[in-house]
Amino acid sequence: MCFRRLEREVSFAGRGLHTGEECRVTLSPGDEGEGVLLAGRRGIYPADNWAFTGAGRGTEVFLPDGTSVKTPEHLFAALAGLGIWSVRIGVEGPEIPALDGCSAAFAKVIEANSAPVRSNDKGPELLALSCPLAVENRARKAAVFAFPSDELLISYVITYEGTAIGTQAADYRRPGDDFSALIAPARTFALESEVKELLGRGLAKGGGAGNAIVAGESSVSAEGGLRFPDEFVRHKILDLMGDLYLLGRPLRARIVALRAGHDLHCRLAERILSASGSKKIRKKEKNHA
């Protein structure tokens, strides 16, 4: 796998996708072999000490000091896609800034302020599977499967019947495929039929035409039009990559996801960590409603 290291501190500021509050996240270079660290109110914690859930409309991370961070997945996807596995992350506010509703803005700045890890430097410890794993939601006919592999290969299939999305499928391989070109620009989306419900639940306050796609029964509302014919499923791959960053180490696995979402992504991460003995899972379920 190809890895990079931050060379200097970078910051991003903007409104959170769901809270609508002004937020800031700062990324600082980590020491060699230090791993992924997330700062809370009373300390800075490695990924082994995080709890997380995907039960709401996005992922949420919980730290031992009571700090929580909502919707880190787009930032985490950018870090994972560029191979940044030694970094210190500081957050001001309850959420990661939504920015452009995808990973493109994050990835552009991170790539410009990082460099490939030298071949003689110690890279991150890889996480490999010893056996196949699966999680499912039978009510939604949704599932995610993970198989042992020498690289990360993701295949994703989504179906939104009665909408302009329909059925879409896409693959992504790392290393090999260009994350910044193929996955990072794919924006978050919502169905037209659920927008009022989301707003009524106090969610999507920071969403708008500039950072989200709305799909109706026969048409799509997207600023500038769709960036890819299959932008919806590409964003699902983006979300999955961000949620797998919760592992704290690059994963080598063949992942097949069917009609899934953050809840199953996070459950898969838990299964992987439990099977590897990496940490004791301390899952904390919390809805955003």
Q: Which residues contact 222 (CB under 8 A, 6 or more apart)?
A: 187, 213, 214, 231
| Rounded distance between C-alpha atoms, residue 261 and residue 141, angstroms | 12
Would you tell me how many other CB atoms lie within 10 Å of the CB of residue 219? 11
| Rounded distance between C-alpha atoms, residue 127 and residue 117, angstroms | 18
Catalytic residue, from 18, 235, 262, 265: name it. Answer: 262
Which string of DSSP letters, residue by residue, matches 234-267? HHHHHHHHHHHGGGSS-EEEEEEEES--HHHHHH
Contact indicator for 168, 157 with CB cutoff of 8 Å: yes
- Three-state SS string over 16-42 comes to ECCCCCEEEEEEEECCCCCCEEEECCC
Of 167, 88, 134, nearest in space to 254 by CA: 134
Which phi and psi (to 5°) does residue 160 adopt?
Answer: -125, 90
74 catalytically annotated: no
Which phi and psi (to 5°) does residue 281 adopt?
Answer: -75, 130
- Which residues does the annotation mark as catalytic? 262
